[in-house]
Chain A
Amino acid sequence: MIPSTATAPATKVVGPAPKRRRRRTNPTAAILLILLAVVMLAPFIWTALSVTKPTDVAFANPPVLSGYTPTLEAFKNLWETTYFAEYLVNTAVVAVISTVVALVLGIPAAYALSRFPGYVSAILLLLALVFRSLPRFAVVLPMYDISRALGIYDTNFALAAALVAINQPFSIWLLRNFFAEIPKELDEAAMIDGCTRWGTLRRIMIPLMRPGILTAGVFVFLFAFQEYLTALVLTDTASKTVPVFITTQLGQTLPMLQQAGAAAMLLTLPVIAISFIAQKYLVAGLSDGSVKG
């Protein structure tokens, strides 16, 4: 069961340590891992198949696996018979606005906090964790009440504001860890040369921090783009987002179900594209950011 790979040739090593020996992949482990990768992708592939079948065989039982002509009819239907385009615009607008605002608010805060000793990091991590693990409804239901009272319920603005706040502790914590790696001497040098604190941030820190800012940005964007619960509570029809739309299509007719699948694909493709382009940053954010914390 246990793929004994990484440390495999444990018994052979005697004498001087080998010079960074090239790892030889254990074939059993490789096959198991390839299978695992297929399993991980399977739900996505299955949905992709279902939405490119003609509607009459898309959900046939037993499933029809061949002998049909793939079609993009479901996507066409989705586009023509629902308000999908609007929902997609809502989702994108909310994600972009909340990401930009989260960074504009978070960068100065993270910078200021990074210039304080290490225990600040620990406390920040604590706050980020506590707020990350809160039952979302504990903040979202009051937000619903407040947004109704203010007349901003079901607007992109209300949803974006909520997402900025919800993601703020995490963004600050991530950014702060990246800022902390930039030596303080750089600030001092810049300020001796006549920069103000804001000038230092703008001219020196932000350009140096580009990878860190990208990492935080990608995370916040992905969170916002796929957020379901908050959007479910804070939107109705006007600013409905794609994840909410997908679930409202479930339990309806088969063509509508297929449209949900098509919408799911269209929501997912940009996410996958971003995560592949930004894989380096995502992995860095997950590992470096959290481990060093």
Chain B
Amino acid sequence: MRRREFASFIGPSLLVMVGLLVLPLIRTVQWSFQEVNYGQAGTFIGLSNYTQALGDPRFGRAVFFTLLLTAIVTALILVVGYLVAIGVNGLGKLRPYILGSMLVAYVLPGVVGAVSFSWLFNSNFGGVLNLVIERLTGQELLWFTDTWPNRVMIIAHTVWHLLPFSVLMILAGLQGVPKELREAARIDGANALKMHLWVIIPTMRGIIGFVCLITIMDVLRTFDSLIPLSPQADAIGNESIMFYVFDNAFRDGSQQLGLGSAVNVLSILLILICLFPFIRDLLKEAKAKA
């Protein structure tokens, strides 16, 4: 393909991405060093926004909660996702129905899923799960105002929402495990558990890594679901980093745009660190192919 042709094919898309993704990102970085309000030119204040954020106990709580949520949810998604994928893989006629109903949880708009979940637990709105759990355990849990019950509910919602993705991916990966490999392991006397641990999981390393990565990325930016699920997020220490940004940099009355931008930049750094092993592998692969 000639250069000019290439440019005319790529050009429009590139223009949109530079104009609407790259330039806004640059603006965020600029803002993070400024005291600034929407529609006004900011004044440079060096690293004040960063020191303010890092010294803010509320930010510390938000980071702690977000990392905790990410760790728990990712672990659950990988383990449960793997077990479910193995189960679905062994299904006959039932398979499309199970997959279909799982797909519903995945495509359900994020806000809708969270609202529905909150209703399942809310005694003010005739929730059914809180009632069942109350009967079973004999104690009334405050799902929306107590830190840990609220966390359990948020974790349950996040796993519910993200599980189908991991099941579908791992299921696709299972199809790629060579039959000969299984046969060989079987002849060598591997039982089911050993087969999974030493043969199937290592063969699917790539896909499991990818699922892990996407899950981490998705949980790190938890935001939508907290609006219905944790109306008092800040007060009970269940605020996510994104929620902290929203509250400080956008919600009426508290327009600390500089502070919010600094937190955005910090989260970008956090995400790049998480992505680093993956980026390194990809670049290695790229070099090998080049």
Contacts and interface: CB of A to CB of B under 8 A. Distances in A.
B20 A145 contact: no
Interface string A1-16: 0111111101101000
Given A122-B282, A141-B261, A108 B168 contact: no
Contacts of A131: 21
Given A36-B102, A135-B271, A229-B223, 4 more contacts: A5-B87, A46-B128, A165-B19, A222-B107
B145 to A, nearest CB: 14
A279 B20 contact: no
Interface string A215-247: 000000010011011000100000000010011
A210 interface: no
Given A17-B183, A64-B126, A286-B169, A268 B13 contact: no
Contacts of B196: 7
> Which 5 pairs from chain A and chain B are nearest by CB?
A287-B172, A226-B109, A165-B20, A5-B90, A142-B24
B12 interface: yes
B160 interface: yes
Interface in A131-166: 131-146, 148-149, 161-162, 164-166
Nearest to B191: A10
A58 interface: yes
The binding surface of chain B is classed by DSSP as: helix
B228 to A, nearest CB: 6
B116 A44 contact: yes
Given A44-B116, A138-B28, A169 B17 contact: yes
Contacts of A112: 1, 5-6, 9-10
A32 B80 CA distance: 12
Given A10-B186, A32-B87, A138 B160 contact: no
A134 B268 contact: yes
Nearest to A57: B126
Contacts, number: 343
Contacts of A44: 104-105, 108, 116
B155 interface: no
Contacts of A30: 91, 94
A182 interface: no
A286 B168 contact: yes
A85 interface: no
B13 A137 contact: no
B160 A290 contact: no
Contacts of A46: 116, 119-120, 128
Interface of A: 2-8, 10-11, 13, 17, 22-26, 29-30, 32-34, 36-44, 46-47, 50, 58-64, 105-106, 108-109, 111-113, 115, 117-119, 122-123, 125-126, 129-146, 148-149, 161-162, 164-166, 168-169, 172, 197, 201, 222, 225-226, 228-229, 233, 243, 246-247, 250-251, 257, 260-261, 264, 267-268, 271-272, 274-276, 279, 282-283, 286-288, 290-291
The binding surface of chain A is classed by DSSP as: helix
B24 A143 contact: yes
Interface of B: 1, 5-6, 8-10, 12-14, 16-17, 19-21, 23-25, 27-28, 31, 38-39, 83-84, 86-94, 96-105, 107-113, 115-117, 119-120, 123-128, 131, 160, 163-165, 168-169, 171-174, 176, 182-183, 186, 190-193, 195-196, 206-207, 210, 213, 217, 220-221, 223-224, 227-228, 231, 241-242, 245-246, 249-250, 257, 260-261, 264-265, 267-268, 271-272, 275, 278-279, 282-283, 285-287, 289-290
13 contacts: A4-B192, A5-B86, A7-B182, A25-B91, A34-B98, A40-B102, A43-B160, A126-B279, A137-B260, A141-B261, A141-B264, A165-B19, A275-B103
A36 B275 contact: no
Given A2-B193, A33-B87, A264-B116, A119 B290 contact: yes
Contact of A108 (B13, B23, B93): B13
B120 A42 contact: yes
Contacts of A24: 92
Contacts of B94: 25, 30, 33-34
A64 B16 CA distance: 52
A162 to B, nearest CB: 7
Contact of A233 (B168, B207, B250, B279): B250
A137 B213 CA distance: 20
Nearest to B2: A197
Contacts of A42: 120
A132 B215 CA distance: 12
A191 to B, nearest CB: 10
* Most chain B beta-carbon neighbours within 10 Å: one of A7, A23, A272: A7
